[in-house]
Structure 1
Amino acid sequence: MSHALIADLGGTNARFALVRIHEFDPQEVSVLSCKDYENFFDAVAAYIDSCSVDIENISAVVLAIAGPVNQPVIRFSNNPWQFTRQEVESYFGENKAVALLNDFDAVGQCLEILTPKDMVVIGDNAEVDPKGAAWVIGAGTGLGVACVVPQNHGPNIVLPGEGGHVDLATCNELEDDILRFLRTRHKRVSAERVLSGMGLENIYEAMAFREGIELRLTAPEIGDALKSGTDPIAKAALEQFFVFLGRVIGDLVLSVESRGGVYIAGGIVPRYLNEIQESGFRNAMQEKGRMKDFVSPIPTFVVMSEYPGLMGCACYASHLLSKA
């Protein structure tokens, strides 16, 4: 049976896997640190050398990339790697079906195959319209966003973009202070400046400064502080992280009436499932003035699958070969 080589190439890690065509459970998953390899081709060569399938037995290659893919030279938003589509096709050979997806395009594709056990609902409403548009959003090294339009036949239509770089809005004095603090460092403050690993660090530093403390912790250090329960600023920073996430998601829902739900992926939120459930996330999402009743029914889910991007690549690979 033919295989697809699938990869989720992020700002920090490159996740590679194999999958049999028309199956969606990634096999032989390997997570490589991007900084350990000069370029993508060195990393993929290391993976192929270690896996059980030769390159000749790979029928399709689907890469999910953390950055725009409709450019002559594909560059990553938070990673120095770059390549062209032609270089990828040449590396794997002309007889291979190749697809390059934005990383959150891939997450959007996985909605087709997610099951209830792969998700946890946040809030009181879990009812979705299976034909309705949906949003996927996720904070990790950066902030990824994509809109998903389900299709009766063929792959989901995913409208990728760089929604993580929209302007950050604030709604109270605390948020104004955080934004003002970040403006001293960044002329323009985007949503990604607070909704990412770096963003959690930024929130912590801004809230510490508000208390007269000059201190910046790394995201892992903030995680350790949260576990110890001895740092009230860490707890407040995570709460504010979820509030900002709710505000951004509410704005997305106002932009596209997403009756298909909102699906939160990425590396950060699934680690803090209890905390987001107890946070002001949903209230912040719904605080849209006259449009509260419009936003409130939209369900939100945390995607708990370990590799949603790879699952989406696997799903897309099957569609890719079906039409070949």
Structure 2
Amino acid sequence: MSHALIADLGGTNARFALAAINDYQPKEVRVLPCKDYESFFDAAADYVSQCSVDMAAIDAVVLAIAGPVNQAVIRFSNNDWQFTRAQIEEFFGAGKAVALLNDFDAVGHCLVVLGNDELEQLGEPSTVDPSAPCWVIGAGTGLGVACVVPQAQGPAIVLPGEGGHIDLSTCNAQEDAIVTFLRERHHRVSAERVLSGMGLENIYEALAHQQGLKKRLSAPEIGAALARGDDPIATATLEQFFVFLGRVVGDFVLAVESRGGVYIAGGIVPRYLEQIKQSGFRKAMEDKGRMRDFVAPIPTFVVTSEYPGLMGCAHYATYLVNQA
């Protein structure tokens, strides 16, 4: 049986797996902390040494990478790994189809193979046009964004970019105060400065500052405080996070009329499904003045699949092998 080796390489963790060609469910998934390995190749060698399929049976290698992939030397946005395509091809051996995708390219490619039970709709139900463009966006170590354009034949065209680094807009006094606080530290405040693990920490610190407190919690500490329910600043932080997410999503919808929907992945939002449903996310998304009626019909979903990036890599690997 023909297989692909697939990996979703983020700023914090590298997720490796195998997938049989024409089967999009990743198998033998291992999540390896990036900090434990000096390079991608050290992590890959560790995985290959323990997987059940011999490399001779691997026909494709598809890597999803947290950073731009159209560079001579591929560097990650949030860790120190780097490599070239030639080094990847040499490491895995000749005769294998190789594809290097942006991490949110991979999420975009997973949409056609996700089951309905792997999507949770936010807001009132609205119609999805499967032939229309859609957005995928997700906050984790950083903020990933990609636009997906379905095709009648072959894989979707995924338009990658670094949309997480767009300028952050504000719409009320509290948001103005948060951005002013962060501007003193960073000068320019991008969306990723508030929509990421670091972003949760930044929002918390800024809200504490408004109360005269000098206090910053790590993202795991904020998560623990939310679980306990004993920290009003943590609760307000998560709410503001969702409002900022709604504002950014609405801006992307204005840029491309995404009647195919907006799909929210990443490591943060799926943990807080009930909270985002009760939050001001949709109101903020639709808060576009005279363009509200343009944005309001666009459906939004949280991707609840555990490994959407790996599923997208598996789908793209199947395309590579079948077209060969």
Give the equivalent residue in structure 2 for 1:184.
184
Per-residue deviation at 1:323? 1.2
Give the equivalent residue in structure 2 for 1:91.
91
Give the equivalent residue in structure 1 for 2:45.
45
CA distance in 1, matches of 2:171, 2:19: 46
Which 4+ residue blocks in structure 1 deviate beyond 2 angstroms? none
Q: How does 1:247-266 map to 2 (within 5 A)?
A: 247-266=247-266
Q: How many residues align?
A: 324
2:121 aligned with 1:101 = no
Structure 2 unmatched runs, 5+ = none
Between stretches 48-57 and 275-284, larger displacement belongs to 48-57
CA distance in 2, matches of 1:228, 1:311: 33
CA distance in 2, matches of 1:230, 1:34: 32
Give the equivalent residue in structure 2 for 1:268.
268
2:307 aligned with 1:307 = yes
2:198 aligned with 1:198 = yes
TM-score, length basis structure 2: 0.99
Per-residue deviation at 1:126? 3.7
Give the equivalent residue in structure 2 for 1:155.
155
SS of equivalent to 2:113: coil
Q: Does structure 2 conserve the Cα–Cα contact (< 8 Å) formed by 1:208 and 1:214?
A: yes
CA distance in 1, matches of 2:126, 2:234: 30
What's the CA shift string for 1:127-183, capped at 9, x where partnerless? Answer: 200001000000000000000000111001000000000000000000000000001
Give the equivalent residue in structure 2 for 1:170.
170
CA distance in 2, matches of 1:127, 1:277: 19
SS of equivalent to 1:250: helix
Q: How does 1:53-68 map to 2 (within 5 A)?
A: 53-68=53-68
Q: CA RMSD in A?
A: 0.5
**Letter in structure 2 aligned against 1:98:** V
**Letter in structure 2 aligned against 1:265:** A
TM-score, length basis structure 1: 0.99
Q: Does structure 2 conserve the Cα–Cα contact (< 8 Å) formed by 1:125 and 1:298?
A: no
SS of equivalent to 2:244: helix
**Letter in structure 2 aligned against 1:72:** A
Give the equivalent residue in structure 2 for 1:28.
28
**Letter in structure 2 aligned against 1:302:** V
Give the equivalent residue in structure 2 for 1:237.
237
CA distance in 2, matches of 1:70, 1:28: 29
**Letter in structure 1 aligned against 2:161:** G
**Letter in structure 2 aligned against 1:134:** C
**Letter in structure 1 aligned against 2:48:** I
SS of equivalent to 1:144: strand
Give the equivalent residue in structure 1 for 2:73.
73
CA distance in 2, matches of 1:82, 1:126: 42
Structure 1 unmatched runs, 5+ = none
CA distance in 1, matches of 2:74, 2:116: 35
Per-residue deviation at 1:125? 2.3
CA distance in 2, matches of 1:90, 1:118: 36
Give the equivalent residue in structure 2 for 1:138.
138
Q: Does structure 2 conserve the Cα–Cα contact (< 8 Å) formed by 1:248 and 1:285?
A: yes
What's the CA shift string for 1:5-30, capped at 9, x where partnerless? Answer: 00000000000000000100000000
| Identity score, percent | 72
